[in-house]
Chain A
Amino acid sequence: MGGFLLRKVGAALVVLVIASMLVFAGVRAIPGNPAIALGAEDRDPALIAQIKHKYMLDRPLPVQYAHWVWLALHGDLGATQSELPVAHTIVQRLPISLELAVLSLVVSVLIGIPAGVIAAVRRGRPEDYVATTGALVGLSVPHFWLGLLFIIWFAVDLHWLPAGGYVTLHHPLSNLEHMVMPAIVLGTGFAAVLMRQMRSSMLSTLNADYVRTARAKGLSERAVVWRHAARNSLITVTTLLGLQLGALISGVVVTETVFQIAGFGQLTILAVNQRDYPLIQGVVLVTATAYVVVNLLVDVVYSLLNPRIRVT
């Protein structure tokens, strides 16, 4: 187990270092001289040299990179155009997006897992047909469009829910009221992915020897399906969660834009629209890091659930 963990952590570190190099190189690839952009419009050579020196732009690239990483490791991602610390701005917005992500995951698990199990058990019957068709539609409907439709139906026409915005968790009811639509919109898309994975994984576990044994020893069908087959099918589904994280992050960005939730996603789009390069750099770096860390955690959890994987 120790060796397995060490290998996984090592691989994750390698990925993080390369990813950070890409982010660093990407910002350097932006056309224009940052020293001139930073206030030396009169192109006074002395001032430009001073700015270059201040931001270490006169040093070789590897030195600049090392310096940048050093600062990033200490939580300093530079300052936004409006002179606010990038790290602080991002940290402020993250909890909002995390709440949205968690709520939509809850929605998707509540719909996707039972639907997948039922579809597999009732294979070829109407229930299976309804669930698989629903999943196919769910895969083809873009979240953001569903969001617009929900706003038209539940906010504009019926006045049941607010059309957008965010209320902090200090007002739990109002918070929930604002999060219901975004969470359902984002969650249903993932429910479709989860349902398909769960169904195919269930179809193979239902044929496994231990399921036959469970049936042979007279367990009720319910116990066989949920306690034996479904629990083991969930193991394969956990890896899917890690791989789907990228889609989840993209989904959060879009959903926050549609519902005007001032989270990490909206910050990302704001950064692009204002061409705030330090902020873009910070946002991309944080996303990549989150992806690597979460996938490392998924690998670890997976190896705990399925000990066979540690050998290979």
Chain B
Amino acid sequence: MSAVDTASLTSPRARRRIILRKRFLRRPMAVAGLVVVVGLTIVAIFAPWIAPYKAGATDFNALLAHSSSKHLLGTDFLGRDELSRLIWGARASMQAGFFATVLAMVIAVPIGLVAGYYRGWVDTVIARLTDVLLAFPFLILAVGLSAILGPSLLNATLALGIGAAPALIRVARGETLALREEDYVPAAIANGASDATIIFKHILPNMTSTLLVQATVTIPLAIVGEAVLSFLGLGVQPPAPSWGTMLQDAQSYLSQAPRLAVYPGLAIVVAALAFNVLGDGLRDIFDPRTTR
């Protein structure tokens, strides 16, 4: 059967999926990004089975040791295996990246939908509240939260999620403003659909691709943010492993063991770059202007 026949037999939705997949596969950078993202997720989930040592296991015969067959990337100042801590640290990063983004979406999407759909004074009130949120950068938010609740990965994630929400509210609002002008909205109104049906059944599904791209570019921000907060002592608390706390430890040994400051940073860059590249790729394939 020729390609034309297959295309004519499938539903529009399936055809769109095939086109998107083809466009995606034509972008090697985006594919590489996806591979790294999947790999990191697997490493984070299966850390206990992948890591050669436990995150807190100390080897006092090998303090600040260079790489060897026993410790592939060497050890830190307590003789803890650097590779194992990197693998365990992926957990904190991926958790923060994923859950902060989910939280930001849960806050932002309904607010953006309501603001864009109803406009008028509702929109104005929401715009002011978004401005209020914006006035507290994620780091300052984390400072406040850790003052009230004490520093932890959960509070860092909360701060990152709330901090990422304003940008997403703007995106969701803008998309809704555009989508509510589409012909299917008056059609749905004529059919007697309620506002909720129009918002959730007609507008929301049409902005999923935009939201997916936004999520993919929010995750790396949250990953870097988690590292920053943990580095400053506002996130993951030592001795728990996180790329940020590892860098904080490494800071005291910059002249003796500079490699300890290199590996966790590289891990952050690889993770953030993979998501950013994937996000750029997704933006390109969903954007009809770049259709080839």
A residues sitting closer than 8 Å to B (CB atoms) are: 11, 14-15, 18-19, 22-23, 26, 29-31, 136-137, 139-142, 144-145, 148-149, 151-152, 156, 163, 243, 245-247, 249-250, 253-254, 257-258, 268-269, 271-273, 275, 277, 280, 283-284, 287-288, 291-292, 295
Contact with A along B248-283 (1 / 0, CB 8 A): 001100110010011011001100110011001000
Q: Please classify the interface of chain A as helix (H, G, I), strand (E, B), loop, or mixed, using the class held by over half of its residues.
A: helix
Contact of A148 among B148, B250, B276, B280 (CB under 8 A): B250
Contacts of A277 in B (CB 8 A): 147
**A-B contact number at CB 8 A:** 142
How many Å lie between the Cα of A14 and that of B135 in the bound state? 12
**Contact assessment for B128 and A18 in the assembled complex, using a CB-CB cutoff below 8 Å:** yes
Q: Which of B104-140 contact A (CB under 8 A)?
A: 128-129, 131-132, 134-140
How many Å lie between the Cα of A285 and that of B140 in the bound state? 10
Contacts of B134 in A (CB 8 A): 243, 246, 291, 295
With A254-B139, A268-B143, A280-B147 in contact, do A148 and B247 touch (Cβ < 8 Å)? Answer: yes
Q: How far is the CB of A241 from chain B (nearest CB, A)?
A: 14
How many Å lie between the Cα of A246 and that of B264 in the bound state? 25
Contact of A250 among B131, B132, B139, B261 (CB under 8 A): B139
Contact of B233 among A136, A163, A271, A273 (CB under 8 A): A273
Contacts of B220 in A (CB 8 A): 139-140
**Contact assessment for B140 and A284 in the assembled complex, using a CB-CB cutoff below 8 Å:** yes
How many Å lie between the Cα of A30 and that of B144 in the bound state? 10
**Contact assessment for A288 and B135 in the assembled complex, using a CB-CB cutoff below 8 Å:** yes
With A140-B269, A152-B254, A272-B146 in contact, do A18 and B132 touch (Cβ < 8 Å)? Answer: yes
Contacts of A280 in B (CB 8 A): 143-144, 147
10 cross-chain CB contacts under 8 A: A11-B131, A26-B148, A137-B269, A140-B224, A144-B227, A245-B137, A253-B232, A268-B140, A287-B136, A292-B135
Q: Which of B171-190 contact A (CB under 8 A)?
A: none
Q: Determine whether B228 belongs to the interface, using a CB cutoff of 8 Å to chain A.
A: yes
B residues sitting closer than 8 Å to A (CB atoms) are: 128-129, 131-132, 134-140, 143-144, 146-148, 151, 163, 220, 224, 227-228, 231-234, 247, 250-251, 254-255, 258, 261-262, 264-265, 268-269, 272-273, 276-277, 280
Q: How far is the CB of B140 from chain A (nearest CB, A)?
A: 5
How many Å lie between the Cα of A136 and that of B276 in the bound state? 7
Contacts of B251 in A (CB 8 A): 148, 258
With A250-B139, A273-B233 in contact, do A149 and B228 touch (Cβ < 8 Å)? Answer: no
Nearest B residue (CB) for A163 = B254
**Contact assessment for B265 and A142 in the assembled complex, using a CB-CB cutoff below 8 Å:** yes
**Contact assessment for B227 and A142 in the assembled complex, using a CB-CB cutoff below 8 Å:** yes
Contacts of A288 in B (CB 8 A): 135-136, 140
Contact of A19 among B132, B233, B254 (CB under 8 A): B132
**Contact assessment for B137 and A15 in the assembled complex, using a CB-CB cutoff below 8 Å:** no
Contacts of A163 in B (CB 8 A): 254
With A142-B227, A144-B231 in contact, do A152 and B261 touch (Cβ < 8 Å)? Answer: yes
How many Å lie between the Cα of A243 and that of B143 in the bound state? 20
How many Å lie between the Cα of A149 and that of B128 in the bound state? 41
Contacts of A152 in B (CB 8 A): 254, 258, 261
Q: How far is the CB of B92 from chain A (nearest CB, A)?
A: 14
With A145-B265, A250-B137, A280-B143 in contact, do A22 and B132 touch (Cβ < 8 Å)? Answer: yes
**Contact assessment for A246 and B232 in the assembled complex, using a CB-CB cutoff below 8 Å:** no
Contacts of B227 in A (CB 8 A): 142, 144-145
Q: How far is the CB of B96 from chain A (nearest CB, A)?
A: 13
